[in-house]
Amino acid sequence: MARLALLALAFTLPLYAWAEAPFDLAQLMRTLAQVKAGEATFTEKRSVAMLERTLESSGRLSFEAPDSFTRGTLKPRRDRVSVVGNTVTMSQGSRSRTVALDAVPEAAVIMEAIRGTLTGNRAALEKNFSATVSGNAQRWVLDLVPRDWRLREQVTSVRVSGQQALLREMVVAMADGDRSVMLIEPAAAGSRTTEPATPAAASAAPRG
């Protein structure tokens, strides 16, 4: 009987250890990388240190692996930011401008944070940020701090939180005291934006 008990314990311990294994960056990236494309709506509130009021905006977000990301703002005014590789295109009305992403470092930090997270690109994230994960698969938090001290003088940190492969919130803390909180709602499966002028970019429900 004693031998049977020991044998049962020997099989149980590895299973218990596996179940209790901490949720880490590698696991999160594997989960996120399984989703190749998606769309969502967003609402964002930005607190500006020099203003007494909060600025609000809303729109749609979309991404497609390996490196495409678009954010289309519908309110308070329409504009669009699309990133493909190292190229970013900013559009408002009939005006459009395309530049290298690294030519706008402050925007690049935020874009790389959201794009790298959405696509589960661990190498890209760790190249640009010190990354720390807490929580579990059902409720995780990814804290990103720019590695480049010059970028930290603009963007202090980016915190992304979500569930499984879905992003739910993104908080950006700026060095000047500004702070933005973006709430993300995955689009229903199969739904597509009805605003072709503003396909937008950021978090995702899988497309079927």
- At residue 18, the pLDDT reads 43
DSSP reduced 3-state for 19: helix
pLDDT at 202 over 50: no
**pLDDT-derived band of residue 7, with 50, 70 and 90 as boundaries?**
very low
- Phi first, then psi: what are they for 87, rounded to 5°? -115, 130
Q: Where are the domains of the chain?
A: 23-206
Q: Per residue in 133-143, pLDDT tens? A: 999 999 999 99
Q: Per residue in 147-173, pLDDT tens? A: 999 999 999 999 999 999 999 999 999
Domain 23-206: assigned CATH number: 2.50.20.10
Q: Per residue in 47-101, pLDDT tens? A: 998 887 899 999 999 999 989 999 999 999 999 999 999 999 999 988 999 999 9
pTM, to two decimals:
0.79
Are the C-beta atoms of 46 and 55 separated by less than 8 Å?
Answer: yes
Which residue shows structure tokens 């009021």? 53
